């Protein structure tokens, strides 16, 4: 049944992406962070590290494996049976 194997990767927006979405441009996000006394370079470094990790994951996925890339914000709208719940995918219970 190797032909039915699939991988579900849950991604999320980085803090920098969320700021750009909120303020519309990188420059405005930078201005906001620096105005609040923060270090924009740390946001950029975290974003770059996350982007590099996603790129590395893309390269590591075997050719032919079915992959579902899902943003975390869509999890409330995804039905696990549509992703293959019968193949071992189980929802995690909250740890609180």
Assigned domain for 31 exists:
yes
Quote the tokens at residue 88: 């071992």
Answer whether residue 40 is part of any domain: yes
- Grouping H, G, I as helix, E, B as strand and the rest as coil, residue 21 is helix
Share of the chain above pLDDT 90, in %: 57
The answer to whether residue 52 is domain-embedded is yes
Structural domain range at position 48: 2-87
End-to-end CA distance of the chain: give it in Å, rounded: 37
**d(Cα 80, Cα 86) in Å, to the nearest integer?**
9
Spatial distance between the Cα atoms of 38 and 45, rounded to a whole number of angstroms: 13
Query: Would you place residue 34 in the very low, low, confident or very high pLDDT band (cuts 50, 70, 90)?
Result: very high
- The answer to whether 7 and 67 have CB atoms below 8 angstroms apart is yes
Whether the model clears a pTM of 0.85, i.e. scores above it, the answer is no
For residues 2-24, average pLDDT: 88
Total domains in the fold of the chain? 1
């Amino acid at each position: 049944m190797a032909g039915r194997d699939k991988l579900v990767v849950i991604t999320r927006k980085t803090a920098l992406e969320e700021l750009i979405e909120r303020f519309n441009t990188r420059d405005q996000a930078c201005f906001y962070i620096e105005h609040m006394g923060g270090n924009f370079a740390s946001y950029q470094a975290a974003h770059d590290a996350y982007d590099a990790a996603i790129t590395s994951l893309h390269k590591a996925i075997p050719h032919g494996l079915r992959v579902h890339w899902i943003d975390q914000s869509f999890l409330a709208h995804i039905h696990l049976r549509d992703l293959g719940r019968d193949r071992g995918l189980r929802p995690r219970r909250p740890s609180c």
